[in-house]
Amino acid sequence: MRSRAVSADGRRVVVTGIGVVAPGSIGREGFWDMITAGRTATRRITFFDPSRFRSQVAAEVDFDPRALGLTAHEVHRNDRFVQFAMVAADEAVADSGLRFGVGGAPDAPEPERVGVTLGSAVGATMRLENEYVNVSDAGTHWLVDPRYASRFLHQALVPSCGATELAVRFRAQAPATVVSTGCTSGIDAVGYGSQLIEDGDADVVIAGASDAPISPISMACFDTIRATTANNADPEHASKPFDARRDGFVMGEGAAVMVLEELEHARARDAEIYCEVTGYANRCNAFHMTGLRPDGVEMAEALDQALRQGRIDAEEVGYVNAHGSGTKQNDRHETAAVKLSLGEAAYKVPMSSLKSMVGHSLGAIGSIEIAATALAVQRQVVPPTANYEEPDPECDLDYVPKTARESKVDVAVSVGSGFGGFQSAIVLAKPDRRAS
Amino acid sequence: MTELARSGSESVTELARSGSESVTELARSRSESVTEPTVLSEEGVASEVVGGHRETAPTGRAILAGRGGRTTRLLVTGIGVVAPSGIGVEEHWRSLLRGELSVRPIEGFDASVYGVTIAGQVRGFVPEEHVDARLLVQTDRWTWMSLAAATLAAEDAGYIPPEEAYATSVFLAAGSGGNEFSQHEIQGLWAKGPKAVGAYQSIAWFYAASTGQISIRDGWKGPSGVVVSESAGGLDSIGWARRVARRGTPAVLVGGTEAGICPYALLCQVTSGRLSTASRPEDGYKPFDRRANGHTIGEGGAILLVEEADAARARGAQKVWGEVVGYGATHDAHHHEDPAPDATQYARAIRLSLADAGIGPDDVDLVIADGAGVPELDRLEAEAVTSVFGERGVPVTAPSSWTGRLMAGGSALNVATALLAIRDGVVPGVGNLDDPVEEYGLDLVRETREQDVGVVVVLARGFGGFNSALVLRRYPEEAA
């Protein structure tokens, strides 16, 4: 006996719009072309001189916010992570065909029924650091000098400003929040957004995540615990998830935003539907802030629960979008978790890591991976794991090396794992998979 | 049969009566919403058989399955306070009832350069008494206070972790993260170079640090989360915890703490333009007063344990502070900084919470206001309250004025205060209120007074337009 997928009122959630700001490509279609071509966007850091750092590689976004439609004021008051979110949300909203806040438009959603859930692991860390350099004269004074301060520092300190910017932009008056569960923020934000719709608190939710952590303090703090790669000689091939030679993750940045919509709401306006969100669950490992037990039990538990909500059997899963950060312990942990959850089916299902190409953008990557997974379901193509060459005996699943693959993907899962012990899983399915 | 006594009250009520009601209600709601209902055994433990992929399913995990129904009765069974007004819920309460202002000149550094010299600091907090030495070095003051408050809440609830680790969640609000720790590390980086950054920066400053550390220390594996909606966060964490509980996790730690009284974090908050520059504490944070001139910041907050009613009964919980019966949240969606020109969305949040609770404005005995202390924001709050409850339609207090605004921790602390008012039938007044703005049309509580309190609405707003309302009710409802 399985518990049912349906929420209290049987409300189902579908994805009707996708927007992406990723390293190597801004925009959903460019992103899809890049990841299905197996192209990597990792490079030697250009934002600052990385020579004093252990890890000198990152996946940077070449980002011109003014050219992408943001006003000078929007750029001035917002950290890069908010700017990414605004650009990605603009694309997602345009893609959905919904005309937010347009009074009288026949398909304009009721503002009081539109919510926002924006994930971010580290918020405005880049702006906070840049401004700190000014007010402390590069770390010279503990008592910082207010005369050098920007007047938008409160928004930088408290990342909920990101949710506010999106709410104001699209006149979303239902619940809005920032979700900050470290590196699972991007999955959790979409999961919470789905729950808002299931619970009847919104009909449409702008859900996604954004992070812009390529700054000296972020690079330094991961340097000291050797979480990031030291493969500085070959930046384009530095991120090697599941490969025996992997030596840490490559820092990334970016955003992805989805328009989530209640199924009947989407049907009533004949919207194009990418996929249905049939399950979401998260768990904590209660083990270690950065360490992972090799058995993957808690991630498997999250995945089990997420599948169970949609009454989906292991054999039905056509694609596993991995966390695949490229650290020794993560890829082993995750392989074990997928085997534990899917059993024998784990050996047959294609499983790949986007981080091989776009790096690890902390909280944002979960939403970027959901965007890719939704596109995989829609297009029946599985993106590859770039740079994968040398198998690791402890990672013995089908990681889709280097080349994208046409494949039957009626159901796909995306999983994530983060500092603090968070483990999350979300399940996306073809919209017509289940009769209404 | 377990007896459940309201703490601090002479009236002892049998849980059996109210408990059986809640079982019936829960069973009804589940059978309406789920075609294969969870079966409640006599112990009140879900005994659904779950088809799993593993044979070694931990016992009781079935309770976590599914997306749940709309109605789940959630009780507050434990409160942990670490606040300027005191450490521990009773110390906080005594301070409020005595009308003690815990806002004082800032200690620890010279804040005068920022034009702000007073704050609500947690005095007498000895981290070593609450946090293991190994954890102390890994974490910021914000997390120390969260760890301490979580322990106090669990102790207050007499919470014995169930064998099923997935049955307890930690779902907190965060505001500004690990400020002081981070300032040290960034200073080291820029003054001395990357190698000066310690191994714990990556886990100490980010917004999920406190949630993660509590779950690890206490072994709780349930669906956990962190929400950020500035000062509304404390209420929102409870709103999200209800979703977690509806989906089958019976116990959730909620609330949060904040620690932003160090040079850089203070400077950041000053730029909001909403801080009082008064140097005398009684001149500073004066919500609803004619001399309202901004708010005073504070640190600390509260963490509370909320439990699904049947689960609380099943474990033999000895204390119930009250029931969470309604929640509503909206966003102004007006401007990145300025509040909406009218209180439409704020009032709607209040109405949503009342509708969720299935009660009307007349059923409410007390409103704990956000009390921004900025004239325009006070006026808007008054407009929201009077539009729902009528002119002078309900007593209103704003206890934050005694402690300062603790950002995410403040709204959580107000929930604790609301539950104390319900327990004792006593309402603390608004701090620093000398000359109330009569035009607001509010029935402001001027001084601590006795009053029967059965239902409280707690309000909170977050910078940028977040509006939240939470309805709490005495448990069991009929007791007085």
The CATH number covering residue A33 comes to 3.40.47.10
Catalytic residue among A275, A323, A333, A395: A323
Assess if residue A252 is contained within a domain.
yes
Closest CA to B372 of B384, B380, B360, B364: B380
Is the ipTM of this structure higher than 0.85?
Answer: yes
Is there a contact between A283 and B183 if contact means CB atoms under 8 Å apart? no
Q: What is the pLDDT of residue B42?
A: 27
Segment A219-238, tens digit of pLDDT: 999 999 999 999 999 999 99
How many domains does the structure of chain A reveal? 1
Is there a contact between B227 and A422 if contact means CB atoms under 8 Å apart? no
Which of B35, B64, B93 finishes a domain?
B64
- Kindly state whether residues B215 and B284 are assigned to the same domain: yes
Residue-level length of chain A: 436
- Kindly state whether residues B249 and B210 are assigned to the same domain: yes
Assess if residue B479 is contained within a domain.
no
Say which of A52, A188, A286 has its CB closest to residue B221: A286
Q: What 3-state class would DSSP assign to A26? A: strand
**CA of A418 vs chain B CAs: smallest distance (Å):** 10
Is there a contact between A199 and B243 if contact means CB atoms under 8 Å apart? yes
Q: Residue B19: pLDDT above 90?
A: no
Closest CA to B310 of B16, B48, B13, B36: B16
Closest CA to B300 of B8, B455, B91: B91
- Asked whether B257 and B81 are in contact (CB, 8 A), the reply is no
Rounded distance, CA B76 to CA B418, Å? 11
* Percentage, residues of chain B above pLDDT 70: 85
Assess if residue B212 is contained within a domain.
yes
Segment B158-201, tens digit of pLDDT: 998 889 999 999 999 999 999 999 999 999 999 999 999 999 99
Mean pLDDT (chain A) is 95
Q: Residue B47: pLDDT above 70?
A: no
- Asked whether A222 and A331 are in contact (CB, 8 A), the reply is no
Q: What is the pLDDT of residue B160?
A: 86
- Determine whether A360 is an active site residue: yes
- Kindly state whether residues B59 and B82 are assigned to the same domain: no
How many domains does the structure of chain B reveal? 3
* DSSP label at residue A225: T
Q: Residue B37: pLDDT above 70?
A: no
- Kindly state whether residues B262 and B393 are assigned to the same domain: no
- Kindly state whether residues B200 and B221 are assigned to the same domain: yes
Segment A64-89, tens digit of pLDDT: 999 999 999 999 999 999 999 999 99
Question: What's the N-to-C CA distance of chain B in angstroms?
Answer: 22
Which of B253, B287, B314 finishes a domain?
B314
- Kindly state whether residues B248 and B373 are assigned to the same domain: no
Residue of A nearest to B211 (CA): A420
- Kindly state whether residues B195 and B55 are assigned to the same domain: no
Which residues of chain B are within 8 Å of residue A139 when distances are taken between CB atoms? 186-192
Q: Residue B391: pLDDT above 90?
A: yes
Q: Residue B25: pLDDT above 80?
A: no
Q: Which two tokens stand for residue B237?
A: 């964490």
Rounded distance, CA B59 to CA B56, Å? 9
Number of H helices, E strands in chain A: 13, 16
- Kindly state whether residues B29 and B138 are assigned to the same domain: no
Domain with B36, as residue range(s), is 3-64
**CA of A151 vs chain B CAs: smallest distance (Å):** 5
- Band of residue B457 on the pLDDT scale cut at 50, 70, 90: very high
Assess if residue A291 is contained within a domain.
yes
Assess if residue B258 is contained within a domain.
yes
Mutate to test the interface with B, among A145, A160, A298 (most CBs of B within 10 A): A160
Closest CA to A397 of A387, A410, A409, A385: A385
- Kindly state whether residues B337 and B425 are assigned to the same domain: yes
Q: Residue B145: pLDDT above 90?
A: yes
Number of H helices, E strands in chain B: 16, 18
In one letter, which amino acid is B84?
Answer: P
CB-based contacts of A398, cutoff 8 Å, min separation 6: A347, A348, A349, A350, A351
Helical H segments across A226-281, by residue range: 263-268
Question: Max Cα separation, chain B?
Answer: 68
Q: What angle do CA B199, B202, B207 make, to 5 degrees?
A: 145
Domain with A53, as residue range(s), is 13-124+159-429
- Kindly state whether residues B54 and B98 are assigned to the same domain: no
**CA of A113 vs chain B CAs: smallest distance (Å):** 10
- Asked whether B357 and B70 are in contact (CB, 8 A), the reply is no
Unique residue bearing structure tokens 């399955």: B65
Report, as ranges of residue numbers, the positions in chain A whose pLDDT lies below 50: 1-8, 435-436
- Asked whether B255 and B302 are in contact (CB, 8 A), the reply is yes
Q: What 3-state class would DSSP assign to B468? A: strand
- Asked whether B98 and B91 are in contact (CB, 8 A), the reply is no
Closest CA to B444 of B452, B436, B432: B436
β A422-429/A275-284 pair status: antiparallel
Q: Residue B235: pLDDT above 70?
A: yes
Segment B199-233, tens digit of pLDDT: 999 999 999 999 999 999 999 999 999 999 999 99
Q: Considering only residues 127 to 186 of chain B, which have any Cβ-Cβ distance to chain A shorter than 8 Å?
A: 138, 165-166, 169-170, 174-177, 182-183, 185-186
Rounded distance, CA B315 to CA B310, Å? 9
The structure's pTM equals: 0.92
Residue-level length of chain B: 480
CATH number of the domain to which B181 belongs: 3.40.47.10
Q: Residue B2: pLDDT above 80?
A: no
Say which of A1, A158, A288 has its CB closest to residue B49: A1
Rounded distance, CA B4 to CA B307, Å? 14
Which residues are registered as beta bridge partners of B225? Answer: B171
**Stretch B257-283: mean pLDDT, rounded?**
97
Q: What is the pLDDT of residue B161?
A: 81
Q: What is the pLDDT of residue A1?
A: 24
* Higher per-residue pLDDT: B34 or B462: B462
